[in-house]
Structure 1
């Protein structure tokens, strides 16, 4: 009876899709969030079971809608792509986000960020990356022996899960794909995607032209065959064996 009551209570709990907080506090923070999000979406575009999200509430514990957090960007290996109002872990094979990113803004306090680190450590995040674009300060943690340990040195660190590399040699963070190509802004991503689509359309058009040429060649061959057959028939009508005509 108690189990039934608890089950009903869990079913009735509402898990809000928003915490009422803005996605970003300034254009720089927003730009970095979108750069990381879109480049990771692009990187794993062909992986149907890699889910990438930005500013999505994550509820790790069924039955408690107070335990939640909205990472700026999170990546889940093993969860299918698709739209969600929030990430309720118990509905996703109980898979926590393995990688999360946070981009600092001036209004973030040290206490707030410490709480986030504790949250990610407690609920199973494997890699946590924190970037302050104003100070060009980048930090990372990776899970080792059941806890998140600081990555030192973090310059040229390669993410075990994402296979991307972080470079701190310049005036701002540089992130490189596994193929060595740098992460780029949304407009550049859109331009490259447009080029890919154009090349695909051109390839499809060339394939269609080749198909049409092949059909035309086949049609001409069939017409020649029919013409030869008519000629052979005419010769036979004249009493000439076309095979002996030569």
Structure 2
């Protein structure tokens, strides 16, 4: 009877999809969150069991809706893509996010960020990256055995899971895909797509012009009594 009561109690617990906090405090933080999110989505677009999420609540423990956190970006290997209201770990094969990103804003306190570090360490994150865009400062931790170790140096570090490289040699963080291409902003990606579409449209237009030219030539040959199908 006790087991049945515990099961019923767990089933009745509500896990909210929102913590009531904004996704970002300013435009710079929002830009970095979206750049990292969309580029990782792009990187793993063809891998069906890699789920990338931004500002999604993660509940690691069934039965306790107070243990939760909403990473700016998190990547989970081994679970399918798809929409979720929150990431309830026990419903996902008990797989925790392996990689987490946080973008620091002026509103974040040191105590808050320390708590996040402890949370990610405690609940099994393998790699944790914290970037301060105002100071161009990147900190990283990687799991070694059962605990986090500081990544030092983090400049030119290659993520074991994502295979992306971090570059701090300039005025702001640069991240590179495994093929060496830099992460691009949403605007840059849109421009690239527009250029590709324009080139495709131009190629289609040229093909149509060539088709019409060939048709006019064939018509002229027929007017001269020549069968264009038999011309070598």
Moved over 2 A (4+): 190-197, 212-246
Distance change in 2, residues 1:43/1:244 (3 Å): closer
CA distance in structure 1 between the aligned counterparts of 2:170 and 2:192, rounded to whole angstroms? 24
Report the CA distance between 1:240 and its aligned residue: 29
Distance change in 2, residues 1:222/1:105 (3 Å): closer
Instruction: Confirm or deny that 1:225 pairs with 2:207.
Output: no
Report the CA distance between 1:188 and its aligned residue: 1.3
Distance change in 2, residues 1:67/1:232 (3 Å): closer
The answer to which of 224-233 and 71-80 deviates more is 224-233
Offset from partner CA, 1:124-166 (integer Å, 9 cap, x none): 0000000000011100000001111100000000000000000
Q: CA RMSD in A?
A: 6.9
What SS does structure 2 have at the residue aligned with 1:218?
A: helix
- Aligned partner of 1:82 in structure 2 is 82
Structure 2 gaps of 5+ residues are none
CA distance in structure 1 between the aligned counterparts of 2:176 and 2:228, rounded to whole angstroms? 72
Report the CA distance between 1:193 and its aligned residue: 4.0
Offset from partner CA, 1:148-192 (integer Å, 9 cap, x none): 110000000000000000000000000000000000101112233
CA distance in structure 1 between the aligned counterparts of 2:196 and 2:206, rounded to whole angstroms? 36
Report the CA distance between 1:238 and its aligned residue: 33
Matched residue pairs, number? 232
Offset from partner CA, 1:26-77 (integer Å, 9 cap, x none): 0000000000000000000000100000000000000000000000000000
Distance change in 2, residues 1:193/1:8 (3 Å): farther
What SS does structure 1 have at the residue aligned with 2:62?
A: coil
CA distance in structure 1 between the aligned counterparts of 2:83 and 2:185, rounded to whole angstroms? 23
Distance change in 2, residues 1:235/1:154 (3 Å): closer
The answer to which of 183-192 and 3-12 deviates more is 183-192
CA distance in structure 1 between the aligned counterparts of 2:96 and 2:143, rounded to whole angstroms? 13
CA distance in structure 2 between the aligned counterparts of 1:217 and 1:134, rounded to whole angstroms? 44
Residues 39 and 189, structure 1, Cα contact 8 Å, conserved in 2 = no
Rg larger in structure: 1
Structure 1 gaps of 5+ residues are 198-211
Distance change in 2, residues 1:157/1:63 (3 Å): same
Structure 2 length-normalised TM: 0.84
- Aligned partner of 1:209 in structure 2 is none
Residues 39 and 183, structure 1, Cα contact 8 Å, conserved in 2 = yes
